[in-house]
Amino acid sequence: MGESIDHAAPVQRSLGSRMANLELLRCVAMMMVVALHYLGKGNLLGDLTEPHMGTTGYAAWILEAFCIVAVNVYMLLSGYFLCLSRFKPSRLLRLYLQIWMYSALVGLFSAAVGLCPREEVDIHYLLTLIFPVSMGHYWFMTAYVFLYLLLPLVGMAVRRMSRRQMRLVLGLLLFTFCMLKTVLPVRLETDGQGYDVIWYLCVFCTAAYFRRFGSGFLERRGAGVCLYLAGCAGAFGELMLLRGYYLKTGGLGRIMKVSMEYNHLFPFLAAVGLFAAFLRLRVSGRPEGIVNRIGPCTLGVYLLHENLGLRYRWQEWFGAGAGGMSVAGLLWHTVLAVAVMFFLGVLAEMARETLVRRLHRGLLCWKPYRKAADKVKAADELFRENNATDVIKQGVIK
């Protein structure tokens, strides 16, 4: 028990302030997410079943391999900060409101101006806009909300486990949901490919372990970068090996892209390496203020460009689908798409924040709203650590 306290203490001191290095990583990860969606949903990735894929097709897959870490990195960032945070119903409400505003407003606007074809605007489309979490409008946010609902249980567990206990639990989780699918040449029925709360929990526990006990050898200079590069190269290399085997034998077609799935070992290790590299980074001066302002707004980038009304359409604005794109053209259009969509998303989130803040101040003059706000604050107080300790001391929990 003393071992865990010693390692946790230095971390607790940084909870009150933002870490500019990790906010910068948040920005980089979101840019990678946009790149992944541009390449994949823009149909720019080469057809792996074709013998002659072309140079541009190979280049697109290389970009994919170096960006596939993005989702795991975002999960690591969430786990790193959430593992020592207490559950707040107010935060859950704000998050759900943020998701709902993008889902409903952007989705309805896209349908109204014709960005979304009229034949696609049906009951299912409208239900997805109105109930974005339950309908899985944004799979990542659905998984995040479900994990946050488990935070009172999971967070308390990871804060109280010793190093050896966490190693054992983390090892079992990673073996079951990562290693098995990595080494077995079959598609497992329980494999969610990393698009579920189970994998989020695995990455959450990894980040919690790093926060409490450090990252070991990855704290050495250059170790994180090397692991990132090795993981990305491994993911691309395995993809090409399985492609070669498929072209020769016609076998293993179902798992040809397995190394490009979030819960495969290579993308996981690459994400851990990149995360560790940014942990060592120091950002100060004016860039620190800029990054700390932009970082929290990056979720707006995801909620904007992945909205159901825009999800498969914005790629065309940047040349996807035109055909005959060269490698230089691919790089240029990818960079342009990432820069523009990132800028628009951050701008939209800043505007949304301002609108919500002003509405909140105005509605506080309305008595029913003020009473509801007070009840939410009271609910937050229920999850204070000292309150839980008092309950135990009073003998309510035995």
Q: Using one digit for the tens of pLDDT, what is the confidence trace for 365-379?
A: 999 999 999 999 999
At a CB cut-off of 8 Å and minimum separation 6, what does 82 contact? 148, 151, 155, 204
Six-digit token string for 57: 């097709």
pLDDT digits (tens, 9 = 90+) for 385-395: 654 444 334 44
Give the pLDDT confidence of 313-371 residue by residue, as tens digits: 999 999 997 778 899 999 999 999 999 999 999 999 999 999 999 999 999 999 999 99
pTM of the model as a whole: 0.91
Structure confidence at residue 79 (pLDDT) = 94
Does residue 350 sit in the same domain as residue 211? yes
Instruction: Write the CB contacts of 180 (distance below 8 Å, at least 6 apart in sequence).
Output: 188
Burial of 122 (0-12, 13-18, 19+ CB in 10 A): exposed
Q: Phi/psi at 393 (nearest 5 deg)?
A: -65, -30
Residue 11 has a pLDDT of 37
Give the chain's domain count: 2
Same domain, 276 and 397: no
90 and 165 share one domain: yes
Q: Are 39 and 311 in contact (CB under 8 A)?
A: no
CA pseudo-torsion sign 170, 278, 79, 230: negative
Distance in angstroms (rounded) separating the CA atoms of residues 88 and 85: 9
User: Is the Cβ–Cβ distance between 379 and 90 less than 8 Å?
Assistant: yes
pLDDT of residue 386: 53
Contact 206, 76 (CB under 8 A): yes
Q: Which domain holds residue 227?
A: 2-363
Rounded Cα distance between 80 and 276, Å, is: 12
Domain match, 13 and 149 both: yes
Task: Based on the fold, state whether residues 389 and 257 are members of the same structural domain.
Answer: no
Spell out the residues 6+ positions from residue 285 whose beta carbon is closer than 8 angstroms to its own.
Answer: none
The DSSP symbol for 384 reads -
Residue 39 has pLDDT above 60, yes or no: yes
Q: Is the pLDDT of residue 151 over 70?
A: yes
Are 307 and 346 in a shared domain?
Answer: yes
**Residue 76 and residue 180 in one domain:** yes
Instruction: Please answer whether residues 223 and 276 qualify as being in contact, where contact means their C-beta atoms are separated by less than 8 angstroms.
Output: yes
| Alpha carbon distance 354, 360 (integer Å) | 10
C-alpha separations of 260 from 62, 65, 310 in Å: 11, 7, 24
Separation between Cα atoms, residue 158 and residue 83, nearest integer Å: 7
The pLDDT of residue 215 is 87
User: Are the CB atoms for 305 and 314 separated by under 8 Å?
Assistant: yes
Pair (251, 380) in one structural domain: no
